Structure 1
Amino acid sequence: MAYNLFIAYDLLSPGQSYDAVRDAIRSLGTWHQFQFSLFYVNTEYSAAQAFQIVSAIMDGNDRLAVIDAASGIVTDWDHPPIDAINAIWASPQRKLR
């Protein structure tokens, strides 16, 4: 089963390992980074599994939210590949590469 997840985080001092957190999120599946710390991911991992994977490389004082989004539509405010994102979102049974 594929999931549409939004993942948001705050990395607090000390230790702010942004590259490691972004790499962990990107490893989950097809992704798009909407904002500095907000990602959309189409993945085979559940929200709980994704939370465990990403939080494992975070510091104990960092903040993480993983939200399972059953459906939705986004606009083109920062020129993301809207058609591709909406197509992935609309067909959550799609197999990832």
Structure 2
Amino acid sequence: MNNLFISYDLIAPGQHYEQVSEKIKSLGAWAKVELSLFYVKSALGSEAVANAVYSVMDKNDKLIVIDTTNNSFHSFNLDPVVIKQMLNYWTK
């Protein structure tokens, strides 16, 4: 089982908070930490969870799933500069 943190930013016009929330809750035991931040305990890894959640999001929405069990993450639409920064420090 994996410990995952899911953070998202829903950009106008869609902002399907209910569908995103329900998809996240369907992936395992969960806790809502903040408005757009969930903790999920799931057999799925960060890529599978990110793909599942992103399937109900608009294509301009932002998403990151951080797997603290396996020290990995998967994201959609994050600024490439931020991703590069994260990767520079990820294993240091």
For the superposition of Structure 1 and Structure 2, which TM-score range results when normalised by the shorter chain?
0.7 to 0.9
Higher relative contact order (CA 8 A, sep 6+): 1
Aligned-residue Cα RMSD (Å) equals: 1.1
2:36 alignment counterpart? 37
- Relative to its length, the structure with more strand (as a share) is 2
Q: Cα distance, 1:70 vs. partner?
A: 2.3
Q: TM-score, normalised by structure 2?
A: 0.74
Identity rate, percent: 44
Query: Which 4+ runs in 1 deviate beyond 2 A?
Result: none
Q: Distance in 2 between matches of 1:70 and 1:59?
A: 28
Larger Rg: 1
Structure-2 separation of matches of 1:47 and 1:66: 5
Whether 1:14 aligns to 2:38 is no
What's 2:64 paired with?
65
Unaligned runs of 5+ in 2: 71-92
